[in-house]
Amino acid sequence: YVPMTWDKAAADQENDIEILLNKYKSTHLLAFNEPDDCNGQSGQYSNMCVVDTSLTYYKNLLKTGLRMASPACRQGAVFNWLVDFNEKAINQDIRIDVIAVHWYDWSSNPENSPNESPNAIFNRFTNYLENVYNIYGLPIWITEFNANIHRNEWVHRQFLQLAMPYLEELDYVERYSFFPPVNDVADLYNLNNELTQIGTYYNDFLSSKGLTQ
């Protein structure tokens, strides 16, 4: 279990530190959900999309002593917003232990490619992770990823069958979590709470590795 301080509200008071430290067996902490987005997610509140503002609240979270994951930004923001955040953190001796990322293949014009080749998506995914690691040199947590909301179920399933074995073997990826699109195309469970084809693959693969969902 890893708690997440979604926005400022869970990171700006001394009492927040006590709450986080009382989380059951927590050894890590995830910071802020897409603060780079000034028009949505945590970035729309309290000037969180301003790097210096987010960094101030992030610094407060270090009082927990927990292993810290960076703010989880939108896909492209790891190459600009988070670079600025990281550079300022280094200059101020503010610790970042893990880089958290979200990836949905948005750079590939997915709205116009619902039947995109899973191999092409997978190749972009692996290139992305390599580029992120080359910039930061830190372990990566992929806290949200899928083949994109505009892609069909077959594409998602085939992409996962390529991605998951790869991620299990990639030394610098510590954790990953498939995030089903919100359009019910690639859910892990159907309306009867039964595993779908994707859900069955995800469950069976993790079970084969001695892991749990």
For 132-165, write each residue's pLDDT tens digit. 999 999 999 999 999 999 999 999 999 999 999 9
Enter the pTM of the model: 0.94
pLDDT digits (tens, 9 = 90+) for 89-132: 999 999 999 999 999 999 999 999 999 999 999 999 999 999 99
Mean pLDDT, the chain, integer: 94
Looking at the chain, the whole-number percentage of residues with pLDDT higher than 70 is 99
pLDDT digits (tens, 9 = 90+) for 43-69: 999 999 999 999 999 999 999 999 999
**Token pair for residue 30?**
């995830």
**Token pair for residue 192?**
């009867």
Q: What is the C-alpha separation between 213 and 177, in angstroms, rounded?
A: 9
**Token pair for residue 197?**
């084809």
**Token pair for residue 94?**
């503010």
Q: What is the C-alpha separation between 157 and 170, in angstroms, rounded?
A: 20
Residues 21 and 47 sit within 8 Å (Cβ to Cβ): no
Q: What is the reported pLDDT for 212?
A: 63
Q: What is the C-alpha separation between 69 and 201, in angstroms, rounded?
A: 28
- Is residue 24 scored above 80 in pLDDT? no
- Is residue 211 scored above 70 in pLDDT? yes
In this structure, the number of other CB atoms found within 10 A of the CB of residue 63 comes to 13
Q: What is the reported pLDDT for 209?
A: 83
CA dist list (Å): 45 to 36, 97, 113:
11, 25, 33
Dihedral sign for Cα atoms in the order 50, 48, 23, 177: negative
- Is residue 192 scored above 80 in pLDDT? yes
